[in-house]
Structure 1
């Protein structure tokens, strides 16, 4: 987390964990690119080099707005639990070239970037404000938390034990 309440791409934050992160990624773990400025410290994960040449806006080498509310949640983003927020004054400040990062495996776009990013970089293709290599679920809407699973299992066990202890009662008339 950056000091102003957002995020940063500081690779020192995972110093010594490159192998762990790479193994997670190679095993199919979901990695998202958001608030990433193409810092060379992430080359071990995103591949290539000179990645900042494909990042528009703050921290990237391509131009773009420093603050915008013009991005929209994609259909894939909606199906993964994201919702379109109302104007907040400054929602995003970077965008990622989908062709370049897609070739590195980040093919799922959850937010289309503000069209101002593409307009600032004509002929370079489409941009996303959040790319991923896999699906993600936000908000926990339909997935019970571990504590809920524990309570459900205990409840079913109690019901089973109660049913097992019942003795059939026969009445004679």
Structure 2
């Protein structure tokens, strides 16, 4: 009986500890950005403001800089001092050194750099999967298989990604994006017309069920049946609906296994009380 009760007590302790962990919001966020405003338009007033806001978003309150991967050139001309470190090789990529990884378009415009990033697939995947704040952002995401970062980034169905270099149709350049309530709550402001803020748009009918949150409504000209997005975020404090606190938000729902452990522990406590009374 004593051994049984000891096991029940251990299960209760483990269940409580698991619940505590479940209440913490993982900092890691995955960002799909349909724009290169931080690079190609980064010197303009609106581009400079957006760059500052984007980097603050990616850092999620961390003091560590953002690693900016730019193997073919391209920079963030308005990045605040000390906020970024430019890398052409990701061999030593580590969450102890960088708060996030920003994968720039080749040359800073106007399409994703899947080919360059794939060379360092293992390093990027490990960085994102660490759970220690290794957020990853893909500039001018155009689709394709990025599942080495996260399984949700397997090749999307035809037409789910539209715009420049996607083959999905729609405008290739527009200033028709609208920063929605989630985007504004998370620290962004509506940019002025930059000559072209948006290159790509994403169908929320596909990305929404995967867990992505839209921070920017895309130009209606992209023609999605439901509202499209020009900026998607998944996970972390800033990829959580209604959350604006990088330290965490509403506790997540505990996994069934965690609830099972807690239930077993509580059952053990009940048995213990009855045994002591007897």
Asked if Structure 1 and Structure 2 have the same fold, meaning a TM-score greater than 0.5 normalized by the shorter chain, the answer is yes
Unpaired segments ≥5 residues, structure 2 = 1-103, 240-244, 247-278
Q: Secondary structure at the match of 1:103?
A: coil
Q: 1:83 to 1:36 in 2, by over 3 A?
A: same
1:66 is matched with which residue: 169, 172, 188? 172
Q: 1:133 to 1:9 in 2, by over 3 A?
A: same
Q: TM-score when scaled to structure 1? A: 0.63
Matched, 1:36 2:141: yes
Distance 1:78 1:6 in 2: 25
Partner in structure 1 of residue 230 of structure 2: 129
Q: Which has the higher contact order (CA 8 A, sep 6+)?
A: 2
Distance 1:4 1:18 in 2: 19
Partner in structure 1 of residue 257 of structure 2: none
Q: 1:79 to 1:11 in 2, by over 3 A?
A: farther
Distance 2:174 2:189 in 1: 17
Partner in structure 2 of residue 102 of structure 1: 208
1:146-161 matches, within 5 Å, as none
Matched, 1:19 2:125: yes
Unpaired segments ≥5 residues, structure 1 = 144-173
Distance 1:32 1:76 in 2: 18
Q: Is this contact kept in 1: 2:215–2:229, CA < 8 A?
A: yes
Partner in structure 1 of residue 270 of structure 2: none
Q: Note the alpha carbon deviations across 1:91-135, whole angstroms, 9 max, x for none.
A: 0110011121122221x11110001012xx5x3x22100000144
In the comparison of the two structures, how many residue pairs are matched? 132
Q: Is this contact kept in 1: 2:173–2:199, CA < 8 A?
A: yes
How far 1:35 sits from its partner (Å)? Answer: 1.4
Q: TM-score when scaled to structure 2? A: 0.41
Q: Is this contact kept in 2: 1:69–1:90, CA < 8 A?
A: yes
Partner in structure 1 of residue 269 of structure 2: none
Greater Cα offset, 125-134 or 47-56: 47-56
Distance 2:109 2:155 in 1: 27
Partner in structure 2 of residue 167 of structure 1: none
Q: Note the alpha carbon deviations across 1:112-160, whole angstroms, 9 max, x for none.
A: 0001012xx5x3x2210000014439xxxx99xxxxxxxxxxxxxxxxx
Q: Is this contact kept in 2: 1:43–1:49, CA < 8 A?
A: yes
How far 1:11 sits from its partner (Å)? Answer: 5.0
